[in-house]
């Protein structure tokens, strides 16, 4: 069972406006290192502000490491390639597609994390790409901002994020500089593991789904938090397991907001069982067409969920991009992982799990506001009467997704 550690201050950031303002400020105050990973880095109005902050940090001697995904960001403008190179920003595009592109199943494994660490003292994690809230690359200008969240964290978790990002960078970007860093980096990794082990033995610990109410010592942050990773090595099912544990332990309420919701058998069963034992389960899902597969493949699971008493709300005020949950008003998670096969089985993802009543209450209020002001409840009777053309699209999309999983040898 995953463990959460004490001593964190966690701030919820809703939308790009709040996230970029905090991120740019932190980068602007950096003195030693900035690590940034993102799926999309769009040099639009908001992206330019982040790019300028990275450039200025590098010019004043800060070591800046920027990693973007080869699907989300296949390239960056020549002007910014030159500016990054001249300023000293170290930048990399993870797994470029090349000519054959996504026809090779192994290339479906993408870098979908949105992480940042500044000076090993503050970390950011969430679902927000470096992309303006009011613009979509495929659909153009949006009438309302995209709904998404991130967190700003200080405390022991920051070292976990820092070590995760550093290891990934040096594995993907071997160079002469690496040789001078290999032993020091390895020593830091070992020292970090030993330090965390000692801390966990000495400090009170909560599981992802249990524990008593927190009482913070004077002047000390109360939030328990933990970093949840998904990769193809040690952390294959860590994020999914955290959801399953928390839902299984829910006593009164489960709220999940997820952009691309195609849950596997275990997650569907957990939600149904929670609803049947009297837990109020509410899902806030994508109600606006974005991509054929993700939009249509999610709907074949609606029937069983609605029949069990799960409430489904479709958000259509703008695009829903959030990947968050609140359970029993105490446990919450914010991150990059959708509840679909790509995120849970193939992509590199990162979530932060938090056990704190104040933080959970804030996120819960934001989600209820979105349900009330941009969501529409799905009626079970009306859903059952949807036209055959809609059912055909759903069956086709779900079938394509299942066939894709067979190609990569995964079960879901």
Residues carrying an active site annotation: 112, 114, 119, 321, 323, 328
The answer to whether 7 touches 156, Cβ cutoff 8 Å, is yes
> In this structure, what token pair is assigned to residue 362?
């804030």
Beta strands 122-126 and 115-118, pairing class: antiparallel
Q: What is the distance between the alpha carbons of residues 319 and 15, in angstroms, rounded to a whole number?
A: 12
- Using only the alpha carbons of the chain, give its radius of gyration: 21
What residues form DSSP beta bridges with 122? 118
Buried-exposed string 46-78: b where 16+ CB fall within 10 A, e elsewhere: bbebbbbbbbbbbeeebebbbbbbbbbbeebee
The answer to whether 381 touches 302, Cβ cutoff 8 Å, is no
What is the DSSP-derived secondary structure letter of residue 144? S
| Nearest by Cα to 336 from 319, 349, 353, 326 | 349
The answer to whether 230 touches 349, Cβ cutoff 8 Å, is yes
- The neighbour count for residue 393, using CB atoms within 10 Å, is 16
In the block, tokens 């806030």 appear at: 284
CA angle 56, 60, 63 (to 5 degrees): 85
Residue 241 burial (C-beta neighbours within 10 Å; 0-12, 13-18, 19+): middle
> In this structure, what token pair is assigned to residue 109?
């494994």
């Amino acid at each position: 069972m995953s463990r959460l550690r004490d001593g964190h201050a966690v701030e919820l950031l809703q939308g790009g406006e709040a996230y970029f303002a905090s991120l740019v400020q932190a980068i602007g105050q950096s003195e030693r290192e900035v690590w940034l990973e993102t799926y999309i880095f769009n040099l639009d109005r908001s992206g330019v502000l982040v790019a300028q902050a990275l450039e200025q940090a590098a010019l004043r001697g800060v070591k800046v490491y920027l990693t973007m995904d080869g699907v989300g960001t296949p390239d960056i403008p020549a002007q910014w390639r030159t500016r990054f190179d001249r300023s000293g920003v170290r930048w990399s595009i993870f797994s470029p597609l090349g000519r054959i592109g996504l026809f090779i199943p192994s290339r479906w494994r993408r870098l979908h994390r949105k992480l940042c660490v500044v000076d090993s003292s503050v970390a950011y994690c969430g679902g927000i790409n470096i992309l303006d809230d009011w613009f979509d690359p495929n659909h153009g200008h949006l009438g309302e901002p995209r709904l998404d969240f991130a967190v700003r964290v200080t405390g022991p978790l920051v070292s976990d994020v820092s070590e995760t990002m550093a290891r990934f960078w040096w594995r993907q970007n071997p160079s002469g500089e690496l040789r001078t860093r290999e032993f020091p980096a390895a020593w830091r990794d070992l020292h970090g593991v030993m330090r965390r082990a000692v801390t966990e033995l000495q400090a009170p610990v909560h599981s992802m789904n249990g524990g008593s109410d927190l009482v913070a010592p004077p002047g000390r942050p109360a939030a328990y938090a933990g970093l949840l990773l998904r990769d193809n090595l040690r952390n294959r099912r860590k994020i999914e397991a955290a959801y399953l544990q928390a839902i299984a332990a829910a006593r009164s309420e489960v709220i999940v907001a997820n952009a691309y919701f195609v849950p596997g058998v275990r997650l569907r069963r957990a939600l149904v069982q929670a609803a049947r034992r009297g837990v109020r389960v509410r899902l806030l899902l994508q109600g606006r067409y974005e991509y054929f597969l993700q939009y249509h493949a999610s709907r074949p699971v609606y029937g069983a969920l609605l029949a069990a008493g799960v409430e489904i709300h479709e958000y259509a005020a703008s695009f829903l991009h959030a990947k968050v949950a609140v359970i029993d008003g105490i446990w919450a998670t914010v991150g990059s992982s959708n509840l679909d096969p790509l995120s849970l089985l193939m992509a590199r993802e990162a979530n932060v799990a938090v056990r704190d009543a104040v933080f959970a209450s804030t996120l819960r209020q934001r989600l209820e506001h979105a349900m009330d002001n941009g969501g529409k409840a799905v009626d079970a009777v009306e859903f059952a009467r949807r036209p055959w053309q809609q059912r055909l699209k759903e069956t086709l999309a779900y079938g394509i997704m299942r066939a894709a999983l067979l190609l990569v040898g995964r079960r879901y």
